Amino acid sequence: MDFQRKVILVTGGARRVGAEISRTLAGAGAHVVIHYISSAEEAESLDHELLGQDYSAELTSCDLTNLAQMKEMSAALISKPGRIDALVGSAAVYYRTPFLEVTEEQWNQIQSTNLKSYFFLCQEIGRQMLDQKQGKIILITDVSAELAWPNFLPYTIRKAGINHLVRGLAKALAPHVQVNGIALGTVLPSEQATPKDVEFYRNRALLKKIGTPENVARTVEFLLTQSDFMTGAIIPIDGGYRLAEG
């Protein structure tokens, strides 16, 4: 995919890893649509930063768990240039949920934000991509999808669902749309992580270091530009964390 004049929607694209993905794609020449819901200050700051470098970007705010809002956002975005060339799904919620303490409200929030919203967003965008006979979808997942973390079970179950969604979408949208996933290890410690936590993550990884948002953004760029014969794949960007677990 040549990025010039390509329209790429990045959900959760205003902060943390999502922001670096937005920067990288805009810097490569794409027109990046930065989605956010509650990070208005970060979104406006990033938009100002990119436009100040003469990059092409715009903001869109939407609660993706509200299907009516999501469909309205998708229709509005598609109507402008007439297409969305790529979707990068980076939005997520993540917090500690010990198994015996999980509430129905927490379960519903995590599954709705992190799985249901992606299913129906991909349905909406995928339909348009099939009509135009081209498109790429990349969903950010996690190595925890294949590990057992009892203090984060709703989150890890959601990530396992995303992995399955990647493979299912690859079949459902073939041959015109490529769908792949990127499974993260610790590339940016959570805002709740303590120095002790960070040291544990570093030592657990085979490469003995924490990854960076740039590691993820460059993988997204690779999948969009260099992977014309890859679909249904889950690429681990984890420093070998998944192999050391257990």
Cβ of 203: how many Cβ atoms within 10 Å? 10
Rounded to a whole number of angstroms, the CA Rg of the chain reads 17
Cross-sheet strand order for the sheet of 177-184: 56-61, 31-36, 7-11, 86-89, 135-142, 177-184, 234-237
Average confidence (pLDDT) over 170-183? 98
Answer whether residue 40 shows pLDDT above 60: yes
DSSP one-letter string for 95-144: --B-GGG--HHHHHHHHIIIIIHHHHHHHHHHHHHHHHT-EEEEEEEEGG
181 near 233, Cβ under 8 Å? yes
Whether 83 and 74 have beta carbons less than 8 Å apart is answered as: no
| pLDDT digit string, tens, across residues 68-90 | 999 999 999 988 877 899 999 99
How far apart are the C-alpha atoms of 169 and 246, rounded to whole Å?
Answer: 30
Task: Convert the pLDDT of each residue in 188-204 to its tens digit.
Answer: 887 778 889 899 889 99
Amino acid type, 69: Q
Q: What angle do CA 57, 60, 63 make, to 5 degrees?
A: 150
Burial class (CB in 10 A: 0-12, 13-18, 19+), 125: buried
CATH architecture of the domain with range 7-244 = 3-Layer(aba) Sandwich (3.40)
**pLDDT at residue 144 greater than cutoff 60:** yes
The mean pLDDT value of the chain amounts to: 92
pLDDT for 1: 65
Q: Tokens standing for 143? A: 């190595």
* Positive/negative CA dihedral, 28, 30, 36, 40: positive
Residue 114, CA atoms < 13 Å, CB-side half-sphere: 24
**52 confidence band (pLDDT: 50, 70, 90):** very high
pLDDT for the residue 245? 61
To the nearest 10 degrees (0 to 180), the angle between helices 117-132 and 153-172 is 20
**Domain ranges (residues) in the chain:** 7-244
The closest alpha carbon to 232, from 164, 156, 134, belongs to 164
Average pLDDT over residues 225-242: 94
Among left, alpha and beta (phi > 0; psi -120 to 50; other), residue 13 is alpha
